[in-house]
Amino acid sequence: MIAKTGVAKKKDFSFDFDAVELLNGYEDTKLKLLDRNMADWFALLDRGVIATATGNSDSHHMTYNLGGYPRNYVQVPNDAPGTVTGSDMAKGIKAHRAFFTTGPIVSFGSGTAGIGDVARAPDGKATVQIKVRAAPWISVDRVKLYVAGKLEKVWTIEPTQTVERLDTTYELRLPRDTHAVVRVEGDQSLTPVIGGAGSIKIYPVALTNPILFDVDGNGRYDAPGAAPVTTN
């Protein structure tokens, strides 16, 4: 893999891209593909290639993968309907201030830093805040925190129809600059709101873009595996 080795198989390969699709409408029923794509994405983050993770419905039919599952939520300066511009969206995506979801809504921060930001972690210490909300008909069974591409913590969520499913903080101990993301999963399909035709079942899932942690205090994220890209 280019992300893991830093060696491109094609001479014209370039890391000159801003975003990468980790999940689309054709893969909603096969979240193992999301696991595989996340592993490649983590390898990119480790190499300093901070590509914004996206989830897109990739709709081609009216009866299969309908538009909006998954969808991206992008932070913009003013989210009042009718005021958001294409430039606002592009800036938010390039700044990695986004998460994708088939239902759950995720807030993720560390101090004043949010999704896509660099957060201070003096002496390798940082506190993250995680909040997950969902409509009553959307199941949320697990909230996962990944640090440096590894599963750090899992919160098991009891069944409920209340909107707020998790509101917690977690203390991190970080030996070096690294990244952290949150993933949310639900075990009950979204049928009949979405899916349900034959074997098509869409499950609740959400994934944030990373918070990047500055441990050494130089004000930036120094990727642990950064190295020049070569070709063979």
- 20-73 per-position pLDDT tens digit: 999 988 777 778 889 999 999 999 999 999 999 999 988 777 666 677 889 999
Question: The whole model's pTM is what?
Answer: 0.92
Q: Which residue has the higher pLDDT, 130 or 199?
A: 130
**Residue 31 contacts residue 186 (beta carbons within 8 Å):** no
2-216 maps to which CATH number? 2.60.40.10
Q: Six-digit token pair at 124?
A: 């390798």
Q: Reduced to 3 states, what is the DSSP secondary structure of residue 123?
A: helix
Q: Six-digit token pair at 200?
A: 């098509």
* Alpha-carbon distances of 64 from 29, 34, 123, 148, 163, rounded to whole Å: 12, 19, 50, 35, 28
68-71, long-range: CB within 8 Å, 24+ apart, which pairs? Answer: 69/25, 69/28, 69/102, 69/190, 69/194, 69/195, 69/202, 70/23, 70/24, 70/25, 70/28, 70/100, 70/101, 70/102, 70/205, 71/100, 71/101, 71/102
Q: In this predicted structure, what is the pLDDT of residue 1?
A: 55
Domain range annotation of the chain: 2-216
- 4-32 per-position pLDDT tens digit: 676 777 888 888 899 999 998 877 777 88
**Does the pLDDT of residue 230 top 60, yes or no?**
no
- 139-184 per-position pLDDT tens digit: 999 999 999 999 999 999 999 999 999 999 999 999 999 999 999 9
